[in-house]
Amino acid sequence: MINNEVFKYYIMGGDPGVEMLSSVYKGKGIRAHILSNNGYGAGVIANKIDELIFSGLS
């Protein structure tokens, strides 16, 4: 939450060797869907996307 408002909704999942993270940034009209075929990495990319979007909120 940022300023008592939901920043994003997300869902994550995976199986051995794959990972998926899908986010909707409420109020920004942005959706990000990340797929990884090595079992890790989607969270790192999602964090960078969060940083970019959050830096645009200031």
What CA–CA distance (Å, rounded) separates 55 from 4?
17
**pLDDT tens by residue, 21-36:** 999 998 889 999 999 9
Place of tokens 């986010």: 23
Model pLDDT for residues 33-51, shown as the tens digit of each residue: 999 998 778 889 999 999 9
Q: Which residue type occupies 44? A: V
Task: Report the predicted TM-score, pTM, of the whole model to 2 decimal places.
Answer: 0.74
Query: Is the model's pLDDT at 58 over the cut of 90?
Result: no
Domain locations along the chain: 9-55
